[in-house]
Structure 1
Amino acid sequence: MDNRHVVIVGGGVIGSAVAYFLAAHPRFQGRVTVLERDPSYTHASSALSASSIRQQFSTPLNIQMSQFGIAFLRDLHQHLAVDGELPELALSEHGYLYLATDGGAATLRENHEIQRAAQVDVALLNQDALKQKFPWQNVDDLAIGSLGLSGEGWFDGYALLMAFRRKARSQGVTYLQADAQGFEHEKGRVTGVRLQNGTVIKCDVAVNAAGAWARPLLAGTGFDLPVVGRVRTVFVVSSPAQTPACPLIIDPSGLWFRPEGQHWICGLPPDNDPDDAALEADYEQFDTAWQIMANRVPAFEALRMQRAWAGYYEYNVFDQNAVIGPHPQLPNLMLANGFSGHGMQHAPATGRGIAELLVDGAYSSLDLSPLSAQRLLDGRPLLEKNVI
């Protein structure tokens, strides 16, 4: 049996998923401690996420991670129930709809071939088909759309985080409020996690799941993780418009929107996208968002902003894909960082993979090795084209 002490830095959805899968592993009998500096999760990306899941990626491995993710979410009661109490995610599988003009149609078709080869339930719709299926949408400037027919949608991300956390604690995982500052190491091995107050928590294995704050933790370890915090603003809007059967729509401009109860939420990449900026909503973006939405859905001309919030993307500037697996110089330090906006949906696959790697010494369910840090050292980007 494995009796090591594993310390996970970051108690968000990634860190809590690792904790759950590790504690649930039949051959792990060690201790798991999760360090979270803000147990209220006020600034945590997990709590501020738009919390969606899709299979429309351009990287086959990302598709496979999402396929496990949707299966896990559908059976969440089986996995994360505690003392008969069942978590409720409000999972809505209304799909994603990627829209393209003539200039983007070829890329959408290339991605479609990759997705169909991976058994994704997705359809390409021409302009007439788009108009027929979504008559409330202006499609005059569009050439094609890619619609996920199943296995895509959105859910309550905060509820997923709390379900992972509660289940992990019921399995014996300890959560501590602590501000980690770095990793102690000697002779090529991590020996502990250094806290802000100078205390060092000894460990046999450490996991960096600190999200947008992961990079500074690795100072002095010989590896510069190319992960930064990028601020994204989400607007909650209201309108008398009707958008029946509305999926999550990605406009060619990069704007996305989807229903949220009686309202809609939307967001778009900012023109100026600095690293690690202050976590504040950019209200000046709303005028641009409104113009794009009113063009796409004419009834959105009467659109009003109700509120907005901002959250960090832990953005991998190297190739917009996650970095998962051992630190290049410290094999007992695991990395789970840089998900670039799709960490919530890939948390189950990441947690399972890290647990397998730690206990079994290799991935046994899904090979995540293409996401290892070695590709960064080799200069071999694993580019993901479908980043929102």
Structure 2
Amino acid sequence: MQGFRTEPARDSYDVVIIGGAIMGSSTAWWLTQMGFPGRVLVVERDPSYERAATALSFSCIRQQFSTELNIRISQFGAEFVQSLRARMGGDDRIPALKIQNFGYLYLADTPAFADVLRANQAVQAAAGAGTRLLSAEEIAAEYPFYRLDDILLGSLNTRDEGYFDGYTVFDWFRRKAREAGVEYLADEVAGLDLSGNRVTGVRLASGRRIGCGMVVNAAGTRGARVAAMAGISIPVEPRKRYNWVIQAERPLDRPLPLTIDPTGVYVREVGGGTYMAGGHADVDPAADPDDFAMDPDIWLDKIWPVIATRIPAFEAVKVVNEWAGQYDYNLLDQNAITGPHPEIGNFLFLNGFSGHGLQQSPAMGRATAEWILHGGYRSLDMRPFHFDRIAAGQAMVEAAII
């Protein structure tokens, strides 16, 4: 638990952030960069982060979204990752990060899905993304290892789209926040105290009560539980996602884009003849947030048959690692819930990222810090993600969820 306190240093803080993974740590760091004058406490239930989505992610970034705001968020994320050292003051301890631009390739096998890709590409192009639409013949010319007899259209972007070292970004958010005075506490929030329309304190599992000026719910798959402590219901639940690292007997002769098959199964480059594949069961219920058990059948019944059909070279592969992770899945529209609650104004959301939180963390942490400091946004306007749409049941659907 290096860097974590076991007892809070104070009885009250100006901001208490519930959850110290990448969203909470991004917010904490941005507060220090913006000159926030108050005291900030981050409460993290698992200082090892062993089962945090931050640690279990595919760690990729893309601009292939269907909404302009999500595209802009990831464009900022790509710039931030590749200028991390400069963003953090030129600290020589921080590595110079790059994006491994193998890209994302969405494959459509029906006219309806092809139309979705065309509509998405128009939005992406208007926002300056480098997405290209490719026929099956054009895909085959660039990537001859695919079987494409059922494919009508592909959507590909290899600019600022691919793998990045997300855990290093997270580690430096956390380290720099701590060095700037943010306090990290190893404990769990067990309840919230309210008075009128404000949260006045957090109750910890250890028995302590901490007064607070504002609370940020960055609790990941436990975000709905934290919201319920304030009497708020959000449509967010844990959903399991399964992942495999495979070694190919016949490695491909060029980098493999993160390929999203029409079945929803996906596979991407790692390097050296190694690849990562992932997906979920056909029945995709809510999971217990502590459930990380692997499904013993899903690899042979679903994932391997799909990737071996799409990429015949993968008929002979060896599984070298496997794990289950979880999305904090927004049932309404698979988009984030951010900003303040309309009635409990000092309770802020950072929830429901539905699998794209890691890449959105630089922009989302910045936006949350702006709201805390200014009561509004100074960069990207995140109001479309506010809780108001949840209360009204007005979905802002993101059509490009993996």
State the match for 1:9 in structure 2: 18
Unaligned stretches of 5+ residues in structure 1? none
**Counterparts of 1:260 and 1:39, CA distance in 2:** 28
Query: Shift of residue 11 of structure 1?
Result: 0.4
SS in 1 for 2:364: helix
State the match for 1:18 in structure 2: 27
Query: Shift of residue 185 of structure 1?
Result: 1.3
**Counterparts of 1:60 and 1:82, CA distance in 2:** 31
State the match for 2:232 in structure 1: 223
Query: Shift of residue 109 of structure 1?
Result: 0.8
The answer to whether the 8 A contact 2:224-2:234 is kept is yes
Deviation per CA, 1:349-377, whole angstroms, max 9, x where unpaired?
Answer: 10110111111111110000000000011
SS in 2 for 1:219: helix
State the match for 1:342 in structure 2: 356
The answer to whether the 8 A contact 1:270-1:285 is kept is yes
The answer to whether the 8 A contact 1:80-1:87 is kept is no
Query: Shift of residue 133 of structure 1?
Result: 0.2
Deviation per CA, 1:293-330, whole angstroms, max 9, x where unpaired?
Answer: 11111111101211201111000111100000002321
The 1:290/1:182 distance shift into structure 2, 3 A limit, reads: same
- For residue 252 of structure 1, the aligned residue among 262, 268, 276 is 262
> Does residue 59 of structure 1 match 2:73?
no
State the match for 1:187 in structure 2: 196
**Counterparts of 2:93 and 2:251, CA distance in 1:** 36
**Counterparts of 1:276 and 1:198, CA distance in 2:** 28
What is the percent sequence identity of the aligned residues?
Answer: 43
State the match for 2:50 in structure 1: 42
**Counterparts of 2:99 and 2:124, CA distance in 1:** 22
The answer to whether the 8 A contact 2:292-2:323 is kept is no
SS in 2 for 1:341: coil
Structure 1 vs Structure 2 CA RMSD: 1.5
Instruction: Return the letter of the residue paired with 1:365.
Output: S
Instruction: Return the letter of the residue paired with 2:42.
Output: V
Name whichever of 159-168 and 80-89 sits farther off: 80-89
Name whichever of 80-89 and 68-77 sits farther off: 80-89
The answer to whether the 8 A contact 1:87-1:163 is kept is no
State the match for 1:272 in structure 2: 283
**Counterparts of 1:234 and 1:367, CA distance in 2:** 34
Query: Shift of residue 90 of structure 1?
Result: 5.6
State the match for 1:213 in structure 2: 222
**Counterparts of 1:32 and 1:261, CA distance in 2:** 40
Unaligned stretches of 5+ residues in structure 2? 1-11
Query: Shift of residue 220 of structure 1?
Result: 4.4
The answer to whether the 8 A contact 1:183-1:218 is kept is no
Query: Shift of residue 240 of structure 1?
Result: 2.1
Query: Shift of residue 88 of structure 1?
Result: 5.4
**Counterparts of 1:193 and 1:226, CA distance in 2:** 22
SS in 1 for 2:228: coil
The answer to whether the 8 A contact 2:132-2:156 is kept is yes
The answer to whether the 8 A contact 1:169-1:175 is kept is yes
Deviation per CA, 1:63-113, whole angstroms, max 9, x where unpaired?
Answer: 111011101011011123685301355631221111111342111111111
Query: How many residues are paired up?
Result: 385
The answer to whether the 8 A contact 2:85-2:92 is kept is no
- With the length of structure 1 as denominator, give the TM-score of the two structures: 0.96
Query: Shift of residue 196 of structure 1?
Result: 1.2
State the match for 2:243 in structure 1: 234
- With the length of structure 2 as denominator, give the TM-score of the two structures: 0.93
**Counterparts of 2:236 and 2:192, CA distance in 1:** 17
**Counterparts of 1:87 and 1:224, CA distance in 2:** 41
Deviation per CA, 1:252-276, whole angstroms, max 9, x where unpaired?
Answer: 1101111113310111121121212
The answer to whether the 8 A contact 2:255-2:269 is kept is no
The 1:90/1:72 distance shift into structure 2, 3 A limit, reads: closer
**Counterparts of 2:49 and 2:296, CA distance in 1:** 23
The 1:213/1:88 distance shift into structure 2, 3 A limit, reads: farther
**Counterparts of 2:90 and 2:374, CA distance in 1:** 26
- For residue 294 of structure 2, the aligned residue among 268, 281, 299 is 281
Query: Shift of residue 200 of structure 1?
Result: 1.2
The answer to whether the 8 A contact 2:82-2:96 is kept is no
Query: Shift of residue 285 of structure 1?
Result: 1.1
The answer to whether the 8 A contact 1:182-1:219 is kept is no
**Counterparts of 2:223 and 2:74, CA distance in 1:** 23
The answer to whether the 8 A contact 2:13-2:41 is kept is no
> Does residue 132 of structure 1 match 2:141?
yes
The 1:318/1:108 distance shift into structure 2, 3 A limit, reads: same
The 1:191/1:359 distance shift into structure 2, 3 A limit, reads: same
**Counterparts of 2:101 and 2:224, CA distance in 1:** 34
**Counterparts of 2:52 and 2:69, CA distance in 1:** 26
> Does residue 261 of structure 1 match 2:275?
no
The 1:109/1:225 distance shift into structure 2, 3 A limit, reads: same
**Counterparts of 2:242 and 2:131, CA distance in 1:** 28
